Amino acid sequence: MSDEKYDENIEAMNAFIEKFDEGEGKENDVTFKAVASNLDWNSDDDVKAFFEHCESKEIEGAKDAIAFLYFMHGENEEKFDKILEDMK
């Protein structure tokens, strides 16, 4: 993934996180960072279930953000861990 594409994905993910935290997060007193940190990214079923939950709540950008994180987890766990660490 090019640096430019990576930066675009980070921006889109951050926009999704803001929407998640302002809606679903406030409703359930949880942040996306907390959910992402505790999600088993090795489990396709867990990731799919979380994605479907976000889709059912109509949180814009869920598909791209979750797909990016899933890809990064499989591609480079150190970079993935850094992404989680840097989340708001």
Q: Which two tokens stand for residue 39?
A: 């999600």
Query: Which candidate, 12, 22, 26, places its Cα nearest to that of 64?
Result: 12
Give 45-88 pLDDT, tens digit per residue: 999 999 999 999 999 999 999 999 999 999 999 999 999 999 87
Distance of alpha carbon 39 from alpha carbon 65, whole angstroms:
14
Task: Give Cα separations from 62 to 31, 78, 88 (angstroms).
Answer: 14, 22, 17
Average pLDDT of the chain?
Answer: 94
pTM of the predicted protein model: 0.89
Calculate helix-pair angle for 62-75, 77-86, nearest 10 degrees.
130
For residue 77, the tally of other CB atoms under 10 A from its CB is 11
